[in-house]
Structure 1
Amino acid sequence: MLEEEYQQPRRLPPHLRKPAEQEPLFEYTIREARPADLPHVREIYNYYVANSTVTFDLDAMTLREWKSKFAYLHKLGMPFIVAESPRGLILGYALVAPWKQKRAYRFTVENSIYLGPAAAGKGLGKVLLGELITRSKKAGLKEIIAVIADQGADASIHLHETFGFHEIGRMGRVGFKFDRWLGTVMMQKSLK
């Protein structure tokens, strides 16, 4: 019997145990993107260019390209938001851009949401997408499209479904990255 007692791990009574260390709170503020944010936005995006298939870009975007994109979206009144930590770090961003250049498409946009690697898996994508939808409605936009890689993007598909996006189509083998063919899942939400 004594042998069995020693095989069981001994535990201190609760009042004598060391308190469990709590994970620090994940704090951030959502706000409009500013030109000063663009180097951080570029770094977040370029991480995905180099390390994943969530974007089909093969070349890193330059700061000049981001400045041009920012000016274009600002001129059109398109929402472009960032999540900022209390220390001023940009944790992620979300934006909408015109779906197509033809004027008849002017009320339809495509969304983009990217998180810094340290911010992934903490619910920030959900907050950014919710805020992006709200701001897109306020901007008078009517339809929002998500174009999602068909491999390894289940979380993104699920996130969009949570907000009422519906799959409207798939395109197979339209991109070639990291020595493999990739397709896309297209989803759409009406902003009524």
Structure 2
Amino acid sequence: MADAQVKVRPAAEDDLHAIAGIYAPYVTDTVATFEEEVPDHAEWRRRISVVTDLGLPFIVAELDGTVVGYAYAGPWKPRAAYRHTVEDSIYLAPGHSGQGIGRTLLTALVEECERIGIRQIIAVIADTGLPGSPALHRSLGFTDRGTLTKVGWKHGRWIDVALLQRELPGSE
């Protein structure tokens, strides 16, 4: 199983090319993200900086020395009262689904969020027609909170998003 070989660590400047390469096909070929323009390296540098400057985790998964996935926790909303709630994002390189890498990444992300005092993690998952991401989140304790219908338009169709939430210890 890939879990034994996967190393999870904080993202670094040297990972920008790999992160950009993993994400690009999701933008151009899928509805997994509502983004329609592929971010360049400068934009990725900015995004990682925004997340880490807030003290939030941005991590990568390496398999045999190659970055094969990444995950991060970004602010749920910009207002101060939301500071203990984040939205997770997780992406795997093509050909690396179903090997436990997503589970390893999401588990590490949840653990880091708990360590830094986050109380709620929200998953906003586009309806791609594939069960992988919702199933992964549910298997790690996320619960369904609802569906927003037809909130995105991409590749000639309307897309729904599922909202899932995981409460972390310390939430009252």
TM range (shorter): over 0.9
2:44 to 53, 58, 66: 66
SS, match of residue 117 in structure 1: coil
| Residues 83-103 of structure 1, C-alpha deviations (whole Å, 9 max, x = no match) | 1122x2111001100001111
Q: Distance in 2 between matches of 1:26 and 1:52?
A: 29
Distance 1:25 1:73, change over 3 A: closer
Q: Which position in structure 2 is the counterpart of 1:142?
A: 119
Q: Distance in 1 between matches of 2:2 and 2:87?
A: 34
2:57 to 62, 79, 92: 79
* 8 Å Cα contact 2:28-2:36 kept in structure 1: yes
Gap regions ≥5 residues in structure 2 = none
Aligned identity (percent) is 39
Q: Which has the higher contact order (CA 8 A, sep 6+)?
A: 2
Q: Distance in 2 between matches of 1:130 and 1:153?
A: 21
Gap regions ≥5 residues in structure 1 = 1-22
* 8 Å Cα contact 1:91-1:119 kept in structure 2: yes
Moved over 2 A (4+): 23-28
Q: CA deviation at 1:73?
A: 1.1
AA aligned opposite 1:27: Q
Q: CA deviation at 1:154?
A: 1.4
Distance 1:130 1:177, change over 3 A: same
SS, match of residue 189 in structure 1: strand
SS, match of residue 49 in structure 2: helix
TM-score w.r.t. length of structure 2: 0.93
RMSD of aligned alpha carbons = 1.7
Q: Distance in 2 between matches of 1:110 and 1:48?
A: 18
Distance 1:24 1:120, change over 3 A: closer
